[in-house]
Amino acid sequence: MNTIEVDFDVFKQLTVRRETESVSYNDVIRELLGLGQGNISAAKEATSPSPSDWIAKGVIFPAGTEFRAAYKGQVRAGHVEDGKLVVDGQYYDSPSAAARAITGNYVNGWRFWDCRFPGKSTWQRIENLRIMLSEVSNNIRDKLHHPFCDMVIDQNSKPVDDAVWPEFQKHDQIRTMVNDNVLGSAED
């Protein structure tokens, strides 16, 4: 995937022109350049979660991600399948629900489980992934609160916070940045 640098004003304008989350920045630029719709790029395919991936609190766990937790001297295991965390044949929507099924108590599943992404050799606490996502989100939010962001950026006179942040906050790019950082950071 090729990368280009744009200044903040260009980024704002590209963001405003994205009608929905499914419209990528590449789609906006193609439209502006009159190139029409191209094939789905490899970059979009790489950043889009598969239906088999599990997304919990914005963190993407690719299908095949392994989970483990030590409880009462035993190691309990799980994995991601069909968009859920599977433990002992049961499907769970949250790490805490899976942890509760094991312990019989309310447990913070983000602190209970470690995971290992497909193709990686290192395990990591899933709480750290959520912390990293929060830090990236806060960093992006801070950039959107740049002094020049108080100006009006669209025809409807919506300030940046109302026009850009809600859409950007939900955008898969944040999750992708975190996952790229996490998946690319392990020494294998």
Give 118-164 pLDDT, tens digit per residue. 988 889 999 988 888 777 666 665 655 544 443 333 333 333 444 44
Select the more confidently predicted residue: 22 or 97: 97
Per-residue pLDDT of 105-119, as tens digits, reads: 999 999 999 999 998
Angle, helices 172-185 vs 126-144, to 10°: value is: 130
Q: What was the pLDDT predicted at 17?
A: 79
Sign, CA dihedral 22-28-30-36, equals: positive
The residue written with tokens 């300030």 in the block is 159
Q: What was the pLDDT predicted at 23?
A: 75
> Can you point out the beta strands (E) in 47-169?
54-56, 59-61, 66-71, 74-81, 84-87, 90-92, 114-116, 124-125
What average pLDDT does this structure show over 168-173?
A: 46
d(CA 78, CA 37): 40
Q: What was the pLDDT predicted at 168?
A: 46
Residue 100 CB partners (closer than 8 Å, separation 6+): 106, 107, 109
Whole-number mean pLDDT of the chain?
A: 74
Select from 111, 143, 139, 138 the least CA-distant residue to 124: 111
44-48, 62-66, 100-104, 182-186: segment of lowest average pLDDT: 182-186
* Token couple for 136: 């990236």
The residue written with tokens 């998946």 in the block is 183
Q: pTM of the full predicted structure?
A: 0.54
Tell me the pLDDT band of 44, cut-offs 50, 70 and 90: very low
Would you say 168 and 105 are in contact if contact means Cβ atoms under 8 Å apart? no
Neighbours of 165 (CB within 10 A): 17
Select the more confidently predicted residue: 88 or 153: 88
d(CA 34, CA 106): 55
Percent of the chain with pLDDT over 70: 64
Q: What was the pLDDT predicted at 33?
A: 82
* Token couple for 113: 């489980």
